[in-house]
Amino acid sequence: MLTKKKETSPDVSLNKIVKSCIADGNFPDARKNIADAMARFPHDAIPHNLMGILLEHENDHDLAMRHFRAALALDPNFRPPLFNMDKYGSFGENRFCEDAYENSDCLDAFDHAVQHKIEWGRIGFGCTVKN
């Protein structure tokens, strides 16, 4: 009996295809490729990160952030969604960096700059803030 090998992750070329489509302004093709990858790999973080990038380029910030958070929930060790959330969610210097499609796209400075600490309020509650 022949068994079909189950694919476990999107092909690496998906990042290149989507990046090229977004750079060319071909958002419908980018959306189709991402949607196909989401259907084939529903528990993978890569398509959600790509959809977040696409949605930011389409000026749908709220939905983009939801996809970045979904990518982080699926794979907390995948750095690009966190980088992209920081990029699009602040007015800091990372705002003008390139989008992060892969781990290698994340700046080393980002790793050192994003450190959090807990600050305690007067009535005894804590919140995390960036250093």
> pLDDT 10s digit of each residue in the chain, 131 long?
455 545 556 767 899 999 999 999 999 999 999 999 999 999 999 999 999 999 999 999 999 999 999 999 999 889 999 999 988 887 666 677 889 998 888 866 455 445 556 666 667 666 656 65
List Cβ neighbours of 80 (8 Å cut-off, separation of 6 or more): 49, 71, 100, 101, 102, 103, 105, 106
pLDDT of residue 115: 56
Fold of 13-102: 1.25.40
* Distance in angstroms (rounded) separating the CA atoms of residues 38 and 36: 5
Helices (runs of H) and strands (runs of E) counted in the chain: 6, 2
Three-point CA angle 75, 13, 105, nearest 5°: 55
Domain boundaries, the chain: 13-102
Using the Cα atoms of residue 98, residue 102, residue 106 and residue 108 in order, give the sign of their dihedral.
negative
